[in-house]
């Protein structure tokens, strides 16, 4: 596979991702580090999707001062390693681009619900969240407290790596004594490092509305008004299954780290070395 800057740019544009700069790090530029800068103006909410793709492909993403997303891969003297890295990244972005086609068309038409992850990631209070990551809780320890109609859905979400804190089915049969809340599920942002953009991406793929929970932490996603409830719960689980498969390499890597956030910061510093050796 021969990759040029034009080919990379065109492949990404076809999937809805606009690019500001590319350095391939391939044969014609052996001294350069593979790097790409994505334009945050591609469409509203694109930043979470790019970070999710970069994590999944084992590249390293970060937001720059302009709000654009820089994604880079550790330099290697082996051009084959760079080529394989590009194939991984472009493959994941192509898959996510297809899954997000409906979302992208909707927001480009002016219908944007919820919030944009990148606009809140830099808020000062998020820097204070220095708690350890949770040990994964056994679903059986809380499933009896979940609305009966969605117990299978909540079990599946947890099995697919989207750890839940609370939920409401939104179905009258589960709440005969009162009007139920709008269907929602709260996802634990301390499930594993950097999981928040993954949760926003899940909501966008499934057609749910993402935001932060009322206490400003954890991710709260809910069904859009007037949507069929049962179908949307099923779609959420189906989307979680697909996204779990995409995220599998990254999740395996971060789960090999100690649970403390400081220990993960140390792992992040050596992340590049571990990628080059893969």
217 contact partners, CB below 8 Å, separation of at least 6? 126, 129, 189
pLDDT averaged over the chain?
A: 86
Instruction: Please identify which residue in the block is written with the tokens 């492909």.
Output: 57
pLDDT in the model for residue 127: 52
Residue 246 · residue 95 · CB < 8 Å: yes
- Encoding tokens for residue 69? 């997303």
Return the sign of the alpha-carbon dihedral for residues 102, 105, 106, 108.
positive
Report the chain's terminal Cα–Cα distance, integer Å: 20
pLDDT in the model for residue 32: 82
For 166, the enclosing helix (H) or strand (E) is strand 164-168
**Confidence class for position 260, pLDDT limits 50, 70, 90:** very low
Query: What percentage of the chain carries pLDDT values higher than 90?
Result: 59
238 contact partners, CB below 8 Å, separation of at least 6? 206
| Domains of the chain: residue spans and CATH | 5-106 (3.90.1150), 113-263 (3.90.1150)
For 266, the enclosing helix (H) or strand (E) is helix 261-269
């Amino acid at each position: 596979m021969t990759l040029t800057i034009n080919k990379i740019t065109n492949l990404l544009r076809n999937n809805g991702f606009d690019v500001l700069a590319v350095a391939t790090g391939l044969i014609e530029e052996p001294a350069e580090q593979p790097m790409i800068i994505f334009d945050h103006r591609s469409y509203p909410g694109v930043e979470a999707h790019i970070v999710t793709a970069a994590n999944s492909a084992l590249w390293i993403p970060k937001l720059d001062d302009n709000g654009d997303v820089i994604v880079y891969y550790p330099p290697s003297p082996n051009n084959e390693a760079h080529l394989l890295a590009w194939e991984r990244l472009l493959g994941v972005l192509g898959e996510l681009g297809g899954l997000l086609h409906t979302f992208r068309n909707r927001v480009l038409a002016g219908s944007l619900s919820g919030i944009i992850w990148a606009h809140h990631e830099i808020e000062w209070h998020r820097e204070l969240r220095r708690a350890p990551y949770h040990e994964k809780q056994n679903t059986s320890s809380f499933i009896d407290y979940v609305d009966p109609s969605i117990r299978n859905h909540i079990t599946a979400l947890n099995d697919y790596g989207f750890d839940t804190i609370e939920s409401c089915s939104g179905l009258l049969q589960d709440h005969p004594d009162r009007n139920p809340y709008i269907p929602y599920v709260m996802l634990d942002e301390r499930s594993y490092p950097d999981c928040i953009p993954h949760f926003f991406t899940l909501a966008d793929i499934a057609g749910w509305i993402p935001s932060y929970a009322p206490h400003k932490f954890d991710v709260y996603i809910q069904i859009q008004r007037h949507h069929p409830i049962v179908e949307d719960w099923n779609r959420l689980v189906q989307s979680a299954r697909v996204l779990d498969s995409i995220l599998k390499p990254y999740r395996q890597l971060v789960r090999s780290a100690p649970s403390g956030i400081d220990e993960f910061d140390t792992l992040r510093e050596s992340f590049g070395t571990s990628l080059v050796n893969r």
